[in-house]
Every structure is written in C-alpha cells, then in structure tokens.
DNA sequence: AAACATGGCCTTTTT
DNA sequence: GGCCATGTTT
C-alpha cells in the first residue's frame, strides 16, 4: 500500500455520515432498494445483525465455524456499499498476514475496486506503517529495522555477556521472555524498576539489562516485535495530535481474533477508538453523501453530530474465548470477557450455528471444551447431520503413526478427496520430521505451513543483514553479522577496534568502515574493510537513489545480487567443498527470486517495504498456495483454517497437554482449547492419532494417551487401533508387517477408558517383533536407488513392508515413483530414489 | 583467525 | 539427535 492510497479522501478533512447506531439502520424502511441487500443472502438472523448493526461498539462472539469471516467481510462491504465509509476510513486487524490477504480478497470480491485504500493487516503491519511515518517524532528514522525474535535474542545474548548477568541466573532466553512479557504490558525499564524489588541484585541486573537493551535498539534505529505495538501506543499517548490524525482517519475499526490480543494491542485499539479532537478541537469536515448513480456529493462542514464533539471510531471485535490459545505470549482473555465493561453500551451478537463440521465432530468438540470449568457455556450445533465417526489410531512409534496417516491420506485421495483439502496437525514443530520422512517416501505431496525455516537459514539471514546494512546504517548488529561473512580475516579483535573507533569519533559502525586507514589495522585487513565499504556504497546507490529519484522496481533484487557477488559471498560458497554450500547458493538464488517477485507485486516497493514484508510475513508459505499438497502445521497455525479431512497427531500426554504447560496456571485449559481448535478445523472427517513410543532427542520414551481422548464420548470415536490393542501382549508387531486392516482390523475394540487392558482380540497379530525395532525405523543415512530400474510386474522387497509387486512407475529422474502392491501391507506409492527396497 | 572436537542443553506454541 | 558454546589445535 502506498502513501497516496493511505491519504485517500476523508483522511482528515472529509467525513462520511456515521449512522446513529442506537436504533435500526436508516435504510430499514426501504429495504428493497438498499445497496447491500445481496450481502445478507444466506445469513441467519444473528449473522444479519452482526452485519447490519451500527453503533459505537459491537462484540461478535463467534464460535468455531460460525461464519465469522463471512460476517466480517460483509460488514465491511456493507459499510462501503452504503457509503457509510470510505475505504480509507476502515482499519481491519487480523491475526496473520495470510488472514489479512484473504479478507482483502473477499471484500474486493464483494465491492470491487472500492476496497482499495482500506487498511487490512495485522497489528504489527499496521503499526509499522504508522511508525514509518511518525518515527521522526521520537528519535527514530523511517528506515528503522525490525528485529525478529532471533535478532533480539542475539542482542540480548551479547548484553547478558557484557553485564555478566548469567552470574545472577539470567539466561538470554529467560531475559528475552521477561522483557517481552513486560513490553506486552506496556512496561518499560523505568516503570518496572519502580515496582520491582530493587534490593534483589538479580532484579537490579535485569532492570539494567532491560534498559541497555532498549538503548541498543534505539541506537540501532530498530524496533523489536513487541515495540512495534508498544511504541505506537507510546507515540499516541505522547503526541495526541499525531494520534488524532489516525483517530479522524479510521472511523471503523474491526479486530478479528480478539481473544488473542494482549494488553498492548488492547491499549492500541483503545487509543485509536477514542474521540479525537481533545487536543486541537478543529473537528470539521465535509461529508460525502450517497448520491444516485454512485456520485459523491460533499456537504459543507457542519458542527459535528449533535453533541458538538466527534465520536470515537466504531469498534467491532470478533472472538471466541474457547479459541484463546496465545496466553503464553500475553494474550489476555479479559479483553474479550470484559468488553462490555470497557465499552459501555456495546452490543453483543452470538453466533452459535456451525456451518463447517458434522455433528459428530461438533459433539466431540463440545464434549472436550466443556471440561474447561472457567468458561461460559456455549454449544455449537449444525443441521448437516452426524457424518462419519471420528477415527482413532495408535501407532507403535511415531513412524508407525506417520505411516498410518500417509496410508489414510492415500485412501482419502482414492475416495476423491483432494490433497489440498487434507491437513495434518501436531503440537510441536519437531513432530513434523517423522511425518515428512514418511511422506517423502510415500511420494505424498505436502507443504509445511508456518515453519519459518527459510528465513532462519544462516545464509538468508546474512543476505538480509547485507540489505539492512544498506537500508539502516545505524544497525550495528547487521554490520557485525556481515563484516566477516564471507571470511575476510576480520576477527573479534578487529571488530572491537572498529567499534571503539566509531564510539570515539561519534560515528556509526558503518561509517567507521569508510576510514579504514585510520583504524590502525594491518594492510590486508584494511583492504578488506575498504572493499566491503565500497560494495555497500555501490549497493546503496542502486537501492537508495538520491532524494527525489525513484528506484526502479528491480532495485532490490539487483542490489542484493550485487551485494552477494561483489562481497565475495557467492564466490566463497562456490569455492567450498562442503556439499551443503551448493544448497546455500540455491537458497540465495531463491532469495533473489523472492525479491524479484516482490518487485512484480509491488512496483513501487522500496527496500524498506521489502525488508518489512520479509520481517513480518516471514513464513514463505503465506505467499504461496498449497494447492495439490497436504498441509502440515502446528495446532497454533491451524487456527482460522478448515479442511475436509483433519489429522490431529501425537494426542499424547506431555505433548497435548504439553508437559511444560501442565504445571502453569491455566495451562491445561489452554491446551484443551488448542485441542478444541484442532478438532473444529475438520469439516467431514477427523482422525486422532498417537504413538506408544516417541523418540525425543535420541531417547525413546513411552507415551501415554492424552487425557483429552477420554473426554470424547465413546460412541463418537471408532478406534482403528486403540491404545489397548497396542499395549496388549504380543501387540508389539509393526503395523507395516501386518496385512492392511482396511477399516475393520481394530473394530473399535479399545475404549477411551480402558487403556492398557488386555481384553482385545489378538487374532490378526503375528508373534514377532519388539518395541525397539520400531522406535526409529528410519535410517538416517541417505539411500540412493536413483539408478534402480523398475518396471510393472517386477517383484521387490521393502525393509518394512515385505514383498510386493510393482504395478506402475510414474515420474522422472529423482522423482520416479513406484506404485507397489505389497502382499501383506497393501498398495503403496514409493519414491524409488530413497525407498529401502531391493529387486527380487 | 579458522578448523575441528567436545560437552551441555534442550524443545511449546508465534507476530 | 541436533544446536550451540567453548576449548583446542594449526
């Protein structure tokens, strides 16, 4: 979004009619001609109310799958269609960038181009936009850097070391999380010091660290994630006239996922929706009127709306306290539960009808969540019918469990369910590995959502640090990161020499490089420094042309390419013998491609825009679609999404509920909500799976079924293989060696309440095998069958599945896939290159 | 300064 | 099982 759009009509001088929302909308008498009639099609009465209600404050309590996104987008569309608001007067906050993109798309679909100029973004993105404009007001520049948690951890680590804070038991991680929590409460080092017990030396050191951290951020012209929100609030409070600009501008503020807002975000919303004008009093503005034929007519400024004062923006929040899963990062459920107190006169609309899931899935969800004692009772219902039973499965190991998931996905696929309509959830990111291994072997297309891996790779962080060094020369962290990458023979001693020189001369670290001859370092090192300085200077000419000029769209990509080439970064990787460095080159090429893609999508995008996007949209998956692939993600990432078929894996004690949260106040309840969120993502089919053993950092541990499983009524759940089946004597057989059970093997024998019992039919079991064998049956060494020639009819032997016959071979080269019918394990697809198979 | 070896720690979830 | 920090060697 450009500033030109941001400054669309109505920003300060023009104000459209705000309907008096205490009673029925003004067009109610003439329903037939209202321009938003079609927006109400297919909505139930509560949803209609949520779309059409006009007033200062509206809380929409939206149960899972109750159509809240639809309601929210239609509400925005109706404001626009009825000419109650200009696009530029709408601020909609979502939780993720992905959700923001989808909402924008849906609103555009409803109202077309007039959606342009709306702010639909996350809290963080919105605050960046505000801060970039206003940074000069309080000691920053608009080219500030955004520190992600990795960056701030690195900085804190350095400070902890410098302050020798570890002697007081302050680890970098603990310090970082404490600072983050405090910032979420809008505390700073001074205000915290006033309440802290300063006779405790550890407290004193912490306060010192906190203050030093904040100083360093300011010096580097940088904000961390929490600052983006907190400093915006600070800005609004310290400069009311600045705040008023935004208060006048945003007349309709809508916040999704309100149950997951923290105090700082709550305060921000409060500041934004407060009546403007207290500081300047010049509350004037023309008003556009809805004219026939879509013409806008502007009324002369009038004296306000009755009271003589301007109202605050109207606020709409949407949330569901049963889906609050971010307390760990400061989300305060009271924001939603006390909304009516915070906004007297607020109206509440309840959406309880679910349009997503079958009754069986909903009943299970209701049953689980009802175990949370501290909630208002709310029951989701549907009229789509019972649907399939929930399928349970217990694997012998995480790989066995993963194999079940893979097999079942193939079965769904054969039954006509598209891969893109299937998702696999897990509690912790590390669980994805076992699934990935099996999926790769099974040639099952998948996509990991939300894992920020790409941008966390060292080479990508290096590339970004080069860009930051150009964009924000004050950022010493970035400079320190790149100064010896690639190796230039510049070690700690030289770095400290430069840093000292910079302090002495009162210049930045970056500028100190320009005086390499004055540093008193050896000639080789001096030349290396001068070269780096020259490369950075050349790059900034490309990416940051002199004021007035506009950089060409390709500037960022070109500049990055130049930096990587002339710095010697590419050369160093190419010269390396390490096989991994080849992949690093590919990643960097990918990074350049991302920059070019960005230029295509944002022809006017600057280097800063690019860095902002990368910092805030850091998971690349938000940008790509997952069409044709199964989606893998954590339960947290799953919030807000829905799929025809959902697998919730690792439903074990110590995983969900996670062992760390078990002891925390409110922890088990939050974990239950997390499980609830997972369940309610499913439209038609839900699978709950677990493993009896799980390898956690080398060690194999025995896992117990999650307590949450017992909260699901027996009749809703069909165990394909229950925990009891697996625990029974003789039950340590690998599933892979068993005949395919085809949906009747387990026969629902186990129950959620009889784990470990021995009363399970054993007929189909074979007597061999032991637990260790299955604990980790994936060899870590890379296998390469790339050359194996296979043709339909060939007999093969697989390490786990036994003998089978090749039905067909598809794909090319490294991606050749064998379709094999195993004598006992049934049909499988195998990636030939890596499958543990041999020809017979 | 760089390359290599060892030992400790760990893992919750994310903008 | 892997990351990171520290220590040792060249």
The two tokens of residue A646 are 């959902």
The question of whether A48 is a catalytic residue gets the answer no
Is residue A657 within 8 A of residue A707, CB to CB? The reply is yes
Q: How far is the CA of A580 from the C1' of C5 (A)?
A: 22
The question of whether A256 is a catalytic residue gets the answer yes
Binding-site sequence positions of A? 62-69
Is residue A347 within 8 A of residue A339, CB to CB? The reply is no
Q: Across the 840 residues of chain A, what is the mean pLDDT of every consecutive 10-residue run?
A: 35 36 37 63 87 91 90 91 86 88 88 84 94 91 90 87 80 88 91 87 88 92 94 94 92 93 94 77 32 32 45 90 89 88 89 92 93 82 89 91 94 93 93 89 85 79 93 91 88 87 91 88 87 93 80 89 92 81 85 90 89 76 65 90 94 90 84 95 95 84 91 93 70 38 34 31 30 35 67 86 88 81 85 81
Peptide bond connecting A657 to the previous residue in cis, omega within 30 degrees of 0: yes
The question of whether A670 is a catalytic residue gets the answer no
The question of whether A68 is a catalytic residue gets the answer yes
Residues 767-806 of A with CB under 7 A from strand C: 776, 780
Of A244, A256, A558, A613, the active-site residue reads A256
Residues 448-487 of A with CB under 7 A from strand B: 450, 452, 484, 487
Binding-site sequence positions of A for ATP? 62-69
The two tokens of residue A542 are 């490309």
d(CA A207, CA A826): 63
Residue A288, phi then psi, degrees to nearest 5: -80, 140
What's the pLDDT score for residue A625? Answer: 58
Over its C-alpha atoms, chain A yields an Rg (Å, rounded) of 30
Q: Closest Cα partner for A439 from A472, A396, A399?
A: A399
Is residue A222 within 8 A of residue A145, CB to CB? The reply is yes
d(CA A415, CA A435): 22
d(CA A837, CA A801): 9
d(CA A711, CA A40): 38
Q: How far is the CA of A159 from the C1' of B9 (A)?
A: 20
- Strand B footprint nucleotides (protein C-beta < 7 Å): 1-3, 10-15
d(CA A90, CA A76): 8
Is residue A816 within 8 A of residue A833, CB to CB? The reply is yes
**If 0-12 CB within 10 Å is exposed, 13-18 middle and 19+ buried, where does residue A689 land?**
buried
Q: Closest Cα partner for A598 from A561, A554, A562, A543?
A: A554
- Asked whether residue A265's C-beta has any atom of DNA/RNA strand B within 7 A, the reply is no
d(CA A106, CA A504): 56
- Asked whether residue A662's C-beta has any atom of DNA/RNA strand B within 7 A, the reply is no
Of A15, A34, A68, A672, the active-site residue reads A68
Three-state secondary-structure class, residue A18: coil
The two tokens of residue A297 are 């007519």
Is residue A420 within 8 A of residue A634, CB to CB? The reply is no
The question of whether A108 is a catalytic residue gets the answer no
Count of CA atoms in the C-beta half-sphere (13 A) of A504: 10
- Asked whether residue A618's C-beta has any atom of DNA/RNA strand B within 7 A, the reply is yes
**If 0-12 CB within 10 Å is exposed, 13-18 middle and 19+ buried, where does residue A659 land?**
exposed
d(CA A433, CA A583): 19
Count of CA atoms in the C-beta half-sphere (13 A) of A270: 16
Angle CA A608–A609–A611, to nearest 5: 65
Q: How far is the CA of A328 from the C1' of B15 (A)?
A: 13
This prediction has a pTM of: 0.81
Peptide bond connecting A343 to the previous residue in cis, omega within 30 degrees of 0: no
Neighbouring residues of A226: CB distance < 8 A, sequence distance ≥ 6: A179, A180, A183, A184, A264
Place of tokens 């010896």: A484
- Strand C footprint nucleotides (protein C-beta < 7 Å): 1-2, 5-6
d(CA A255, CA A214): 29
Nucleotide nearest to A226 (CA to C1'): B15
Q: How far is the CA of A727 from the C1' of B6 (A)?
A: 40
């Amino acid at each position: 979004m450009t500033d030109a759009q941001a400054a669309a009509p109505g920003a300060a001088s023009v104000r459209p009619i705000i309907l008096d929302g205490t009673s029925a909308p003004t067009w109610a008498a003439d329903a037939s001609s209202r321009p938003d009639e079609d927006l109400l099609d297919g909505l139930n009465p509560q949803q209609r109310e949520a779309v059409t209600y006009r007033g200062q404050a509206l809380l929409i309590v939206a149960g899972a799958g109750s159509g809240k996104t639809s309601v929210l987008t239609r509400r925005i569309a109706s404001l626009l269609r009825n000419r109650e608001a200009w696009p530029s007067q709408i601020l909609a906050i979502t939780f993720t960038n992905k959700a923001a993109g989808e909402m924008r798309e849906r609103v555009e679909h409803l109202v077309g181009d007039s959606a342009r100029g709306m702010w639909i973004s996350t809290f963080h993105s919105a605050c960046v936009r505000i801060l970039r404009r206003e940074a000069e007001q309080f000691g920053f520049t608009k080219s500030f850097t955004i520190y992600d948690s990795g960056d701030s951890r690195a900085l804190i680590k350095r400070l902890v070391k410098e302050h020798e804070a570890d002697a007081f038991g302050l680890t970098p991680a603990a310090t970082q999380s404490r600072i983050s929590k405090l910032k979420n409460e809008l505390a700073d080092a001074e205000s915290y010091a006033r309440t802290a017990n300063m006779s405790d030396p550890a407290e004193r050191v912490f306060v010192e660290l906190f203050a030093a951290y904040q100083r360093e951020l300011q010096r580097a012209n940088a904000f961390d994630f929490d600052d983006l929100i907190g400093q915006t609030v600070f800005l609004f409070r310290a400069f009311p006239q600045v705040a008023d600009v935004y208060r006048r501008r945003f007349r309709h503020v809508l916040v999704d996922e309100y149950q997951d807002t923290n105090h700082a975000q709550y305060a921000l919303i409060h500041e934004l929706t407060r009546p403007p004008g207290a500081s300047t009093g010049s509350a004037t503005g023309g008003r556009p009127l809805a004219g026939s034929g879509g013409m806008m007519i502007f009324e002369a400024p009038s004296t306000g709306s009755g009271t003589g004062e301007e109202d605050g923006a109207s606020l709409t929040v949407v949330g569901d306290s049963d889906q609050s899963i971010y307390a760990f990062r400061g989300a305060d459920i009271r924001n939603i539960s006390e909304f009516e107190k915070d906004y007297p006169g607020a109206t509440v609309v309840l959406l309880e009808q679910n349009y997503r899931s079958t009754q069986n899935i909903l009943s299970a969800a209701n049953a689980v969540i009802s175990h949370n004692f501290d909630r208002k009772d709310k029951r989701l219902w549907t009229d789509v019918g019972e649907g399939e039973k929930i399928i349970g499965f217990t694997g012998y190991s995480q790989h066995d469990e993963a194999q079940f998931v893979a097999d079942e996905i193939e079965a769904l696929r054969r039954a006509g369910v598209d891969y893109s309509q299937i998702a696999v959830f897990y509690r912790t990111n590390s669980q994805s590995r076992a699934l990935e291994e099996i999926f790769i072997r099974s040639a099952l297309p998948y996509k990991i959502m939300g894992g920020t891996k790409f941008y966390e790779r060292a080479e990508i962080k290096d590339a970004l640090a080069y860009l930051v060094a150009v964009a924000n020369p004050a950022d010493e962290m970035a400079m320190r990161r790149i100064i010896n990458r690639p190796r230039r023979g510049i070690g700690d001693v030289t770095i400290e020499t430069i840093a000292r020189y910079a302090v002495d001369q009162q210049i930045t670290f970056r500028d100190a490089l320009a005086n390499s001859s004055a540093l008193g370092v050896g000639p080789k090192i001096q030349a290396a420094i001068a070269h780096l300085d020259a490369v950075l200077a050349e790059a900034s000419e490309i990416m940051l042309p002199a004021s007035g000029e506009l950089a060409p769209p390709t500037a960022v990509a070109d500049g990055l390419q130049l930096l990587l080439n002339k710095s010697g970064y590419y050369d160093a990787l190419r010269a390396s013998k390490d096989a991994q460095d080849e992949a690093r080159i590919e990643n960097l090429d990918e990074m350049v491609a991302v920059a070019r893609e960005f230029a295509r999508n944002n022809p006017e995008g600057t280097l800063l825009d690019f860095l902002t996007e990368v910092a805030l949209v850091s998971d690349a998956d938000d940008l790509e679609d997952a069409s044709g692939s199964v989606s893998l993600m954590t339960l947290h990432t799953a919030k807000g999404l829905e799929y025809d078929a959902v697998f919730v894996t690792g439903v074990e004690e110590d995983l969900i509920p996670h062992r760390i949260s078990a002891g925390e106040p409110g922890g088990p309840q939050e974990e239950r909500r997390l499980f609830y969120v997972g369940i309610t993502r499913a439209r038609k089919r839900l699978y709950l799976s677990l493993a009896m053993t799980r390898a956690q950092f080398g060690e194999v541990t025995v896992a117990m079924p999650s307590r949450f499983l017992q909260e699901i009524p027996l009749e809703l759940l069909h165990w394909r293989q229950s925990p009891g089946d697996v625990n029974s004597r003789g039950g340590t057989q690998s599933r892979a060696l068993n005949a395919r059970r085809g949906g009747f093997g387990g026969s629902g024998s186990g129950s959620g309440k009889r784990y470990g019992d021995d009363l399970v039919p054993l007929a189909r079991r074979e007597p061999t095998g032991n637990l260790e064998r299955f604990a980790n049956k994936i060899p870590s060494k890379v296998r390469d069958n790339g050359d194996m020639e296979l043709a339909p009819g060939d007999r093969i032997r697989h390490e786990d599945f036994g003998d089978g016959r090749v039905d067909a071979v598809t794909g090319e080269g490294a991606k050749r896939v064998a379709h094999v019918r195993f004598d006992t394990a049934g049909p499988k697809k195998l990636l030939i290159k890596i499958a543990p198979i041999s020809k017979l």
